[in-house]
Amino acid sequence: MKDVILTTTLILTVSVFVSCAIHLIICTSSNGDFNFEMGMQKELGEGVCEFHIFDFGNYGGKVPKELKRAYYHQWGLARQDPNVVTPTMGNKYYGLLDTVKLLGHDKLDVIDVFKIDCEKCEWETYQDWLAPGIPMLQQIQVEVHGAPGQKALDFYDGFEHAGYLRFHKEPNIQFNSDCIEYAFIKVEKSFMSTRNATLVN
């Protein structure tokens, strides 16, 4: 893993946002389920990560006491308002850039993992994930809902053009087979160019 300038990296999921001495994890739409965060803590070590968890529901009191450095935020993700320079607390929705600023993570170089399940908001907000001002998302885990035509094509093309390689795909057979969980990892754009040229040839 290459060195970074700052001591904190980030893992983001649309249920939880984690910031650690080694990793920062953001997650959204927890629905009161903290298995992902507990699993990350088990793998990486207790207290290594700082988790920021987002959901509309009042699940803050259900965050497991054994989950260390975990913070619950009761708000949702929306498209970033380009007119907002300095966000203030108290809104029901925030864009990703606003969220990063409110958490004081806008000066980070890297978010190690961004995990999001936002019930179709991915089609409207994904461009914000890749926008200037957002720390590089090293890994993106997202559940997509349906395949809305051109929006879906733009979504996948956008990730590829930004240098994200898909390394995992899994249908949600437990709750809704129209939903598919993807995982992308950031690679050098030159790698993507070489890969595409190889596939064409």
- SS3 for 150? helix
Residue type, 192: M
Third-level CATH fold of 9-200: Rossmann fold (3.40.50)
Sign (positive/negative) of CA torsion 155, 157, 162, 167?
positive
Residue matched to tokens 């437990």: 174
Q: Which residues 6+ apart lie within 8 Å of 71 measured at CB?
A: 17, 50, 51, 52, 53
What pLDDT score does 30 carry? 72
Instruction: State the DSSP code for 3.
Output: -
Residues 6+ apart with CB under 8 A from 57: 30, 31, 32, 74
Check residues 31 and 118 and name the one with the higher pLDDT: 118
- C-beta separation of 130 from 158 below 8 A: yes
Q: Please choose, from the candidates 80, 34, 81, the residue with its C-alpha nearest in 3D space to the C-alpha of residue 57.
A: 34
Mean residue pLDDT across the chain: 85
pLDDT of 193 strictly over 90: no
Residue 45 CA from chain centroid, whole number: 21
The pLDDT of residue 68 is: 94
More reliable by pLDDT, 24 or 95: 95
**From residue 125, how far is each of 14, 78, 162, 173 by CA, in Å?**
12, 7, 15, 25
Structure token pair of residue 16:
């939880």
**Nearest alpha carbon to residue 127 among 84, 164, 83, 102:** 164
pTM: predicted TM-score of the whole model, two decimal places? 0.82
Q: Is the pLDDT score of 126 beyond 50?
A: yes
Which amino acid is it at 45? Answer: G
Distance of CA 186 to the CA centre of its chain: 13
Beta bridge partners of 164: 186
pLDDT digit string, tens, across residues 7-25 = 233 334 444 444 444 467 7
